[in-house]
Amino acid sequence: MFLGNLCLSLALVFALISAIFFLWGARADEKPLSLARKFYYFFFFFTFLASAYLMYLFLGHHFQVEYVYNYSSSAEPFFYLISGFWAGQEGSFLLWLFLGSWLGVFLIRKKKSSQLFSEESGIHQGYVMFFYLLVQIFLLVLLLKKSPFSTLPNVPPDGKGLNPLLKDFWMVIHPPVVFAGYAGLAIPFAYALSALSRNRYEGWVGLTLPWAGLSSLLLGAGIFIGAYWAYKVLGWGGYWGWDPVENASLVPWLLSVALIHGLILEKTRNMFRRTNLLLAISSFLMVVYATFLVRSGVLGDFSVHSFIDLGINTFLLIFIMFFVFLSLGLFLSRLSGIPRSRIGDNILTREFSLFSAIILFALSAVLILLGTSSSLISRIFGPPSSVSIPYYIRTQLPLSILVFIALGAAPFLRWKGSDVTELLKNLRFSFFAAAVLTALAFAFKVRSIIHLICIFTACLAIVNNLFVLVKRKRGGLKFAGGFLTHMGAGILLVGIITSSGYDQSKKISLPRGETEEAFGYQFTYLGTENSAKGTNDFLKIKVQKGSTHFIARPQYYFSEYNQGIMRSPHIKINLLYDLYLSPEDRIQGEVSEENFIQIRKGETKEKRGYSIEFLDFDLTSHAQSGQISVGAILNVEHKGEKGTLIPTMVMGGREGSEDARMVHLPGGKDYLVLEKIDADRKIVTLRLILQDEIASEDILVLSIDKKPLINLFWLGTILIMVGLGIATYRRTKEAERR
């Protein structure tokens, strides 16, 4: 609407004026800087006003605004009206802009330029804020190109509502945390360009380190919250799928973690300045690149989470190239004047362990980036394609082993070198403890050599960091951040290995009132709660083991928003494992193995009188909701009748009037259901439902997963975030004292 667009336009005007005055002040004196700060406050005010106005439109049900119409309805609870703000592209850009403008207030207020940005520090506020404002101007241009305040020609009576998948507490807080991390990474980027502009680097480390820690904390927390949401809501049993959009946030986070280690090394030993400047630049450039991947629609055929193109691709490409040429050009122009750093020949030093961590995190990010970008790279040589999940596993597991060797040895290493005999003496207990825990894993049927090595090195890091943390407890909690983070990382790796590599899965067919057994539990399907066509239809399943029992209530309901069946799991948390119950289907009839068909692309198979040929996949992206439909193109023949069918899995969408996975077979009597897609192997699993076999009873098809030690994954994420929080607080206080 007019007021919202006016606020965005005025915010852009004041951001441009403020940037000009900051640049002038960097080259002149304090007077232009004073004016620049005042104009910045005007920019922040109008950004805040635009954000508050969009929130008002959501809370007031102003459905004449297209964005409000697409992501809310009058029936939505208060918190979901709030999360509608960032449910789509336009609102998430505005959220990013608001959080970035708010962080900028702290940049210009803290101690004022006369103290925090002094000549002695080598960093000038004018340059820092000029480069930081370029990022905000970039977001404002995108928002004016595709505004969240565009109106519809007519006022609809109600909105479409929020995607049911987003109606969860964790999705209320996940996007703001991620975008706060994105906004924060622009600050080390601005510090790096400021230092390069002046060719002065004396104080940039102390000022950058707290912001690098805060950005890493926020972005990491956002990633882990998203992982928990996926595990809790989506029902596929996992927390990370190596989806390109998931990876797009992981890459800048890994680089920010590498930056933290590099800044500590530069602060302590005055080393790796070149590397740190490049990492500060690269971590933000990866945020810009991630924005392009997610927002341009180029991953529409490869990612469930990708948005469609809203007509801003050209702008995104221009801004990517602008920031790349600006930052890397400035870096290369100053490179010869920045001293080189040389790591010593002695590998038994703390310098070498930190150097190893930097290289390994950066290498991990590069390999993930290559896999994520494979669909773009492959377009150059032919039809686009993406790498499979095994690529990520094969590349990341060996790197994780090397990382945890470094983390395990680091607590006992000294800056100037350690004696081999003394080091081995210090490591005796931890080697023994790690070996015992690895043997315990072997006893619980962990047989993969690389998994056992991962567990051993992770346990080594856990035990050593715990030992040093307890030994140095007199130093206070403020020195515990690094140790807690490294312990959390080790616990996280063990949780990943056990829960992902050794989970057990079983599918059972449960007629109502009957009992089936799996993993020592008895499962009895008791029917449903709420009406069969309600928006929140719960399935009641009695789960019993010995004398104890509970009622599981996974969800299986028809969504008006998606015009399809929605499923949500029930998770029973135990100390050593999670019992993960996910409904796959409710049908009228038996689930017979004879009716399942697994067929590879190009193959033809005969089943129950039907000839089925799998021709190809059908991939279709849809507008507004960022959904993707994956179908199988089939030629089917039965008793002389032929037809081409495309059963389709619709993820996160609104299209279609029925469950698109089920299609009528030639003759219109029987059905074919698309059960599973294995895109990597080009295989689909189909199920025949024959009319003459349909029974009258209500049958639930239930997938049951047993995920060992998955609580270690969540415990590890919590310790990482707590450790990063403590370390960031400590570095912030150190910067304030300086």
CA 3 to chain centre: 34
d(CA 151, CA 535): 29
- Residue 533 confidence (pLDDT) above 80: no
Amino acid in position 421: T
Q: How many C-beta atoms lie closer than 10 Å to residue 406's C-beta?
A: 22
Q: What is the pLDDT of residues 262-280, one digit of tens each?
A: 999 998 888 889 999 999 9
Question: What is the number of H-type helices and E-type strands within the chain?
Answer: 19, 19
Structural tokens at position 321: 């190239």
CB 642 within 8 A of CB 636: yes
Fold of 593-694: Tick-borne Encephalitis virus Glycoprotein; domain 1 (2.60.98)
| Torsion 32-34-40-45 (CA) sign | negative
Nearest alpha-carbon partner for 163 in 557, 625, 567, 661: 625
pLDDT confidence band for 532 (50 / 70 / 90): very low
Measured CA distances, 341 to 143, 189, 199, 204, 351 (Å): 43, 21, 17, 17, 11
| Confidence at residue 8, expressed as pLDDT on a 0 to 100 scale | 96
Q: H or E stretch including 630?
A: strand 628-638
- If 0-12 CB within 10 Å is exposed, 13-18 middle and 19+ buried, where does residue 564 land? buried
pLDDT confidence band for 487 (50 / 70 / 90): very high
| Confidence at residue 432, expressed as pLDDT on a 0 to 100 scale | 93
| Confidence at residue 653, expressed as pLDDT on a 0 to 100 scale | 37
d(CA 78, CA 646): 39
| Across 241-256, average pLDDT | 90
| Confidence at residue 252, expressed as pLDDT on a 0 to 100 scale | 96
Rounded mean pLDDT of the chain? 85
CB 219 within 8 A of CB 253: yes
Nearest alpha-carbon partner for 179 in 110, 101, 261, 116: 101
Structural tokens at position 228: 């928990």
For the chain, state the CA radius of gyration: 28
Nearest alpha-carbon partner for 188 in 242, 120, 112, 266: 266
| Torsion 213-219-222-226 (CA) sign | negative
- Residue 627 confidence (pLDDT) above 70: no
Q: Which residues contact 634 (CB under 8 A, 6 or more apart)?
A: 612, 613, 614, 615, 644, 645, 646, 647, 672, 686
Residue spans per domain, the chain: 1-167, 173-300+308-336, 506-589+705-711, 593-694
Q: What is the pLDDT of residues 298-315, one digit of tens each?
A: 554 444 444 455 567 788
Q: What is the pLDDT of residues 93-149, one digit of tens each?
A: 999 999 999 999 998 875 444 444 545 556 788 999 999 999 999 999 999 998 999
Supply the pTM of this predicted model: 0.83
3-state SS string for 339-373: CCCCCCCCCCCHHHHHHHHHHHHHHHHHHHHHHHC
* Strands annotated E in 530-603: 538-545, 548-552, 555-559, 564-568, 570-573, 577-587, 596-600
- Residue 681 confidence (pLDDT) above 80: no
CB 551 within 8 A of CB 543: yes
**Best mean pLDDT range from 10-24, 365-379, 532-546:** 10-24
| Across 386-404, average pLDDT | 91
Least trusted range by pLDDT, from 112-126, 181-195, 338-352: 112-126
Amino acid in position 582: S
| Confidence at residue 296, expressed as pLDDT on a 0 to 100 scale | 64
| Confidence at residue 377, expressed as pLDDT on a 0 to 100 scale | 80
